[in-house]
Amino acid sequence: DRGTRVVDLAADVRLRDPEVYQRWYGGPHPDPGLLQEAVYGLPELHREEIRRARLVSGVGCNAAAAILALAPLARAGVVSEARIEARVGSSEGGSRATEGSHHPYRSRALRMFEPFAHRHLAEVSQETGLPEDRLTLGVTAVESVRGVQAVATVTLAEPVREGDLWKTYRAAYGSEPFVFLCPARPSHLRLPDPRLVMGSNRALVGFALHPDGRRLTAVAAIDNLLKGASGTAVQAANLLLGCPETAGLEMRPVYPA
Amino acid sequence: DRGTRVVDLAADVRLRDPEVYQRWYGGPHPDPGLLQEAVYGLPELHREEIRRARLVSGVGCNAAAAILALAPLARAGVVSEARIEARVGSSEGGSRATEGSHHPYRSRALRMFEPFAHRHLAEVSQETGLPEDRLTLGVTAVESVRGVQAVATVTLAEPVREGDLWKTYRAAYGSEPFVFLCPARPSHLRLPDPRLVMGSNRALVGFALHPDGRRLTAVAAIDNLLKGASGTAVQAANLLLGCPETAGLEMRPVYPA
Amino acid sequence: DRGTRVVDLAADVRLRDPEVYQRWYGGPHPDPGLLQEAVYGLPELHREEIRRARLVSGVGCNAAAAILALAPLARAGVVSEARIEARVGSSEGGSRATEGSHHPYRSRALRMFEPFAHRHLAEVSQETGLPEDRLTLGVTAVESVRGVQAVATVTLAEPVREGDLWKTYRAAYGSEPFVFLCPARPSHLRLPDPRLVMGSNRALVGFALHPDGRRLTAVAAIDNLLKGASGTAVQAANLLLGCPETAGLEMRPVYPA
Amino acid sequence: DRGTRVVDLAADVRLRDPEVYQRWYGGPHPDPGLLQEAVYGLPELHREEIRRARLVSGVGCNAAAAILALAPLARAGVVSEARIEARVGSSEGGSRATEGSHHPYRSRALRMFEPFAHRHLAEVSQETGLPEDRLTLGVTAVESVRGVQAVATVTLAEPVREGDLWKTYRAAYGSEPFVFLCPARPSHLRLPDPRLVMGSNRALVGFALHPDGRRLTAVAAIDNLLKGASGTAVQAANLLLGCPETAGLEMRPVYPA
């Protein structure tokens, strides 16, 4: 250790609690001190800590999307329960060919994997503060190469007003360079489609509240190869190095594509 | 009226209650007596009534999938709440080109429409007996031409055992000619993908129960142009006419395609 | 050898000439006598021989499509040169995952492989009688799971009249159970798309003649998993066994899908 | 006319010869003087004229791709005949929904339109100098939103050596900011796939020569919404205005996507 500052792209230091790490990753962490020291590398939640950090973690792509959808609600203390489904493109599986990525099987898939306990759930719980037993996280493979759409089916603790939710989300993201709120209308653009951010480091966040004020759907869409991984890592590195936060990340979405 | 027996492919006589019809279709029914007389045309729920009926309704494609996923649970009295998402291919929108079906916009879409109150909710409520205020039904356009995958995010009234659910579903569908239960393993085949029934009149139904015994995901997959519409209508007509129920419907799924 | 009659699905006995076999398959054939004995298993060209054969070969999927497009012209003696491109879906690559079948790379591909000398060229030459040096055969991977579209860019030896071509093709295929000629109009249906035969054992054949009477495009479309492989093998087995030729092969195309 | 300089995005002034215009566009040009005055807006062919021009035409997307594939060969005087197929994504059809763009029909299409005489042929002839009767140009709709792959099936006037072709293409494009030659190896990257330029203003050009030295396949791939239309128009406007030629056009391809 000679003082080198690191943004880690792997999953090794995303979790703070060694016990949680062991439970989700199947063994003890080889250097638990790093877990205590590292900062979770999502600038929208930890901007100031990242600036000062020596060790910044990468983010899980599904986790990043789910956290962006849920964190404002969770901080507002209104979430009773959330069941999250991350719909993902084939690039999420990595660059190595597998039976699961074989085109005849993967094309146009709507393949739901274990629907409750994807490993990224640990990150979502840690970063939103919602206890694990009030969260589920499943992953569904859909037809696309890039993109994650995290859909949170939320039950609120008590009825809320839509206007208050708008305030909550605007307060969270109004000055973020890469997070955009979806408009209330037209209705088919209210909940974001990952196509709309493809090729960019942007996240789109939207929500819809049931008239009963207690049932809510919150959605975030990102390009998993940018905001879901290396894009956010570059953003974190910019902060850590004192560069402009958006440097190298100003690509606009390519749409329609 | 000269005694002609009818299986209606349209949406006109699917609902029994004129008040419910008016609320969902925006005006009074022109002949409410037909609503009272008609039988909902899903053989899995109304086989004997269809045999004797004079007027059989068609089924909504999203409704048919959702009902097949939920009806056994609802009958068992264990459902507290269900939030349903129907993921649909482009053929569901009909044969006329619209801005929504324009390929540059529609291709690889993950477009979530109004997420709580698709009109087919009325059918799901009627046929499962679950009150409307404990159901939501949204529709999401995904990349495919055919297929509906109805995903019900269910909260159970009290914890149940997985073995009991298997009994419930087997009792409901064990002798059905067109409904197949997904196996418990491998996990990626536990919840059905519409690709697996494409080109056939089959429905695949699967479920996964959270270890807490109270959170459940129930899924049904159909080909919307067959089991979701004309296929089920032919099946109903076969019953009504005294033909073998599977006549003309024995096409096998085309997979992979 | 106890008189068992065989339809071989592999590529081992498709070629008649051991020298040609050696040139295309990189080594001498282990049992050249089988090459002499075997019948090429395309009923449209060898129906009577197949009925009496002891050993029938499978057909290459690209070869089968190219042969169906070109054979009537070749027999009529009007072909000076043909350059063929087979556009193929991902299922043609087999069931094993490879880097080429990895969805992020394979999805929406327009990947042109070595454009002149795909190995099936030997079959096309043998079955059409066109010498190898007047043929090229390339393969292009396109976005689909099933389907081969063989497009032959043909130069005719001398100008022909369109009416004569219609007579030629009708004479070849007019009484075939599985080969259909595309209509002259509307123009976008004149040259066949494999989508129109998907899930069936059918071949669609179409052509367009340039006003100069010498430049021609001839196209055949098949489902590579049926007419391009096992479907044709079953058809051949039916002939060989004296069964009705279409037994087990009457599935209709699934369209749109 | 007050001296305003114009880059026209429409098809009105692409052709120089009023007679040719009339033949392809079905009526006389309303202001033939503009045809004489305008410069065809492809900087790779007319850079210096564009700098000085008052009126610059847009380019047809299929024409631009075909011209980039063929112009070096045509200038070298080696082309006897070329038959071109442009494989196009759905965005080429424009932003208005039509039956042809209806997703259930358009998805995974391999739909070959009139294969010999797409209107852009006039531009290809004009800009390559190849007479119309030695060219054909067809268009095939394939599954993608963006991209044109122009594939020219070329017959050379006499045998050439591959090394000479490399020199010809390198001389043409070696210093172009947006045109890249495909490498000779690996073979599956030798002929360009439009996916590799998607989201950028780049063109990829590649060729393969038959061992006989006379049959050749030349291919160019572009993003039709950039290099095939507005991207090239911006490039032309940059030249005309004296700005750096690449200003506003430095987006990198988004791959895999």
The structural domains of chain C, ordered by start, are 6-59+229-241 (3.40.50.720), 61-222 (3.30.360.10)
Q: Do A107 and B138 touch (CB under 8 A)?
A: no
B251 inside 8 A of chain C by CB: yes
Chain-chain contact of D199 with A254 (C-beta, under 8 angstroms): yes
Q: For chain D, how are helix, strand and coil distributed in percent, rounded to 5?
A: 35, 20, 45
Query: CB distance B208–A133 less than 8 Å?
Result: no
The pLDDT-based confidence of C2 (bands split at 50, 70, 90) is confident
**Which of the four pLDDT bands, split at 50, 70 and 90, describes residue C1?**
low
Yes or no: say if D82 and D138 are a contact pair by the CB < 8 Å rule.
no
Distance CA(D92)–CA(D148), nearest Å, equals: 9
* DSSP tag of B39: B
Strand D179-181 and strand D203-209: pairing? parallel
Kindly give the confidence (pLDDT) of every residue in chain D, 257 residues in length, as a single tens digit, with 9 standing for 90 and above.
678 999 999 999 999 999 999 999 999 999 999 999 999 999 999 999 999 999 999 999 999 999 999 999 999 999 999 999 999 999 998 889 999 999 999 999 999 987 999 999 999 999 999 999 999 999 999 999 999 999 999 999 999 999 999 999 999 999 999 999 999 999 889 999 999 999 999 999 999 999 999 999 999 999 999 999 999 999 999 999 999 999 999 999 999 99
Q: Is B141 helix (H, G, I), strand (E, B) or coil?
A: strand
Query: Cβ of D198 and A257 within 8 Å?
Result: yes
pLDDT at B126: 98
Strands B79-88, B148-156: pairing is: antiparallel
Whether D120 contacts D69, CB under 8 Å: no
Q: What tokens were used for D142?
A: 């394939």
Report the interhelical angle of D61-75 vs D121-128 (nearest 10°).
Answer: 30
Give the pLDDT confidence of A26-82 residue by residue, as tens digits.
999 999 999 999 999 999 999 999 999 999 999 999 999 999 999 999 999 999 999
- pLDDT at position D1 is 63
Q: What is the mean pLDDT of chain B?
A: 97
Query: Beta partners for B148?
Result: B88, B222
- Report pLDDT for A3: 81
Q: What is the pLDDT of residues D14-44, one digit of tens each?
A: 999 999 999 999 999 999 999 999 999 999 9
The Cα–Cα gap between A169 and A179 comes to 10
Q: Does C96 reach chain D within 8 Å, measured CB to CB?
A: no
Q: Does C97 touch chain A (CB under 8 A)?
A: yes
Per annotation, catalytic residue among A35, A38, A56, A61: A61
Q: How far apart are CA C119 and CA D31, in angstroms?
A: 55
Mean pLDDT of A178-198: 96
Phi and psi of A48, rounded to 5°? -70, -40
Q: What is the mean pLDDT of residues C75-102?
A: 96
On chain B, the residues whose CB falls within 8 A of the CB of A113 are 187-188
Question: How far is Cα C5 from Cα C56, in angstroms, rounded to an integer?
Answer: 8
**Dist. CA B70–CA D244, nearest whole Å:** 63
- From D151's Cα to the closest Cα of chain A, the distance in A is 22
CB B195 within 8 A of CB B257: yes
pLDDT at D189: 93
pLDDT digits (tens, 9 = 90+) for A122-148: 999 999 999 999 999 999 999 999 999
The pLDDT value recorded for residue B238 is: 98
Based on its alpha-carbon atoms, the radius of gyration of chain D, rounded to whole angstroms, reads 18
Nearest to C71 by CA among C177, C213, C203, C237: C203
pLDDT of B2 over the 90 cut: no
pLDDT of residue D23: 97
* A58, A235 Cβ separation under 8 angstroms: no
Pick the residue of D102, D108, D223, D225 with the most B CBs within 10 A to test the interface with B by mutation: D102
Q: Token pair of B72, please?
A: 């056994």
| Start-to-end Cα distance in chain A | 45
* Section C45-55 average pLDDT: 98
Please report the pLDDT score of residue D3 as a whole number: 80
What's the rounded Cα separation, in Å, for the pair D175 and A150? 45
Please tell me whether residue A68 adopts helix, strand or coil conformation. Answer: helix
pLDDT at site C75: 97
CA D49 from chain center: how many Å? 18
- pLDDT band at residue C60, thresholds of 50, 70 and 90? very high
Query: Of B253, B176, D155, D193, whose CA–CA distance to C109 is shortest?
Result: D193
From the list D81, C139, B109, the residue with the least C-alpha distance to A108 is B109
Active site residue C61: yes
C-alpha B25/C-alpha B23 separation (Å) is 6
Q: What is the value of ipTM here, to two decimals?
A: 0.96
For residue B200, the chain C residue with the least C-alpha distance is: C254
Give the position of tokens 């139904």.
B205
Question: Residue B1: what pLDDT?
Answer: 62
Tell me the CA end-to-end span of chain B in Å, nearest whole number.
45
pLDDT tens per residue, range C107-145: 999 999 879 999 999 999 999 999 999 999 999 999 999
For chain D positions 103-122, those within 8 Å of chain C (CB to CB) are 104-105, 107-116
